[in-house]
Amino acid sequence: MASNPLHPATLGTLTGIGVGPGDPDLITLKALKCLQSADIVAFPQGRNGQPGLAQTIIAPHLTRQQLLPLDFPYIFDPDQLTSAWQQAGDRVWQCLTQGQNVVFACEGDLSFYGTFNYLALSLERRYPAAKISRIPGICSPMAAVSALGLPLTVQSDKLVVLPAIYTVDDLDTVLVWADVVVLLKVGSVYDQIWQLLHRRHLLEHSWVMVNATQTTQKVYRPLTPYPHLKLPYFSLMVIRSGANPLP
């Protein structure tokens, strides 16, 4: 009697692993073991035929695995994004129904604005029988402050992370009560943020980290001499506005 490809016992498992912000050595032991034992390794496809960051991070650790680049377009149209996520989920489901285990490599940590979430949600909605597991990773703010030689928070610091800023009014409001603010994808509004920090006398307490833990890592600290910076996509800013002293 032929086995049922949709029976839970014969389905492969999709495991999302956080592979850290750039340095291949920052992957956890658990994620590494899962990666190297997988049948198929999936990851977001890079732009213009170039390897994406997640693929670059895991490259030194790959052995015999089949590679599955998935298209997660850099667009804002919700219909196109939903279609792309569904197509990615369909491709992974085809592998799972063959009994193959799939690992999806996600830069940083899965739960911290991770691409894996879109794939997992699409798969769960369209294929409720899918088996999905998650392994956390190191996210970019943690890696950045370590590279800066700073704690992210101390004592009773209140922390805010803003994933993208389209108006400095958001930051101005947050700085009223937050002690530490982390700004992701800061490049498009850097000049305006610099002016705001200048008015608030916070330039000496603010830092920019570019490509944290990667070979192209660059640090700007303090920001007083840098009113204009052309920053790449993987740039973040740490602002310490609270009164708690650093150790």
Strand 13-18 versus strand 66-70 pairing type: unpaired
Amino acid at 22: G
Domains of the chain: 8-135 (3.40.1010.10), 140-240 (3.30.950.10)
Say if residues 95 and 10 touch (Cβ distance below 8 Å): no
What pLDDT tens digit does each residue of the chain (247 aa) get? 334 445 566 899 999 999 999 999 999 999 999 999 999 999 999 888 889 999 999 999 999 899 999 998 877 788 888 899 999 999 999 999 999 999 999 999 999 999 999 999 999 999 999 999 999 999 999 999 999 999 999 999 999 999 887 788 889 999 999 999 999 999 999 999 999 999 999 999 999 999 999 999 999 999 999 999 999 989 999 999 887 666 5
Residue 206, pLDDT score: 96
The predicted structure's pLDDT at residue 238: 96
User: What six digits make up the tokens of 240?
Assistant: 């310490």
C-alpha distance across the termini of the chain, in Å: 68
Helices marked H in the chain = 29-37, 53-58, 78-96, 116-126, 140-148, 168-174, 190-199
What pTM, to 2 d.p., does this model score? 0.90
